[in-house]
Amino acid sequence: MTILYFIDILGTMVFAISGALAGRDKNLDFFGIAAVGLITAIGGGTVRDILLGSTPVGWMNDLIYLAMIGAGILISLLFGKVVRKLRRTFFMFDTIGIAVFTVLGLQKALTLDVHPIIAIMMGMVSAVFGGVIRDIVCNEIPLIFRKEIYALTCLCGGIIFILMNKLGMDQTYNIILTILFIVSFRILAVAFKWQLPDIK
């Protein structure tokens, strides 16, 4: 679907921006910032493809991804301060991005004939693992392991997609439903500060 592809490459750029900004916060040099931006943007899909054995990994087959990542890195180098002020816009793009990454990752896994439960996990991995690697490279404990409800949202979205699929829902509607679910759930989670319980 053209619209999914469009959001996918846009989401990739948003991830590159978020990675590059994290690199700036760590006082990396030009190259380090670009590297963290790149890793954040492609990390999730790369880990998914490697686990599934779908290599060369996806972004190698379509240079538009690298181009969008390059653009994202440039944007965060040139307009970093502006981007940080556009928190809300940025948050929306990021949220739509992970929703689309989840659905596309899940679909890719399904085409490779793995069990639906594995496909749900791969959807989540596609969406969140870029951020995990970003945090590891930046020498932090991955954020999503500490306080974001982020990953769980993708997991629930994936479950909904698979369930609706089994129930025979039309795929286009199912995609829209899943994306809407992930986006609204995350907005609500942030708005009302939903948090998973700490275990003491």
Q: Does 118 bind a second copy (CB under 8 A)?
A: yes
Does the footprint of a second copy cover residue 147 (CB under 8 A)? Answer: yes
Interacting residues with a second copy between 172 and 191 (CB under 8 A): none
Pairwise CA distance, residues 130 & 45, whole Å? 8
131 CB burial (10 A radius; 0-12, 13-18, 19+): buried
Burial class (CB in 10 A: 0-12, 13-18, 19+), 120: buried
> Any contact of residue 56 with a second copy (CB under 8 A)?
yes
- Told to check if 146 binds a second copy by CB under 8 A, we report yes
Q: Could you say whether residue 196 binds a second copy (CB under 8 A)?
A: yes
- Tell me: cis bond preceding 116? Omega within 30 of 0 counts: no
Gyration radius of the chain over CA positions:
16
Residues numbered 63 to 82 that lie near a second copy (CB under 8 A) are 63, 66, 77, 80
Binding site for a second copy (CB under 8 A): 23-24, 26-33, 35-36, 46, 50-53, 55-57, 60, 63, 66, 77, 80, 112, 114-115, 117-118, 132, 136-142, 144-147, 149, 151-152, 195-199
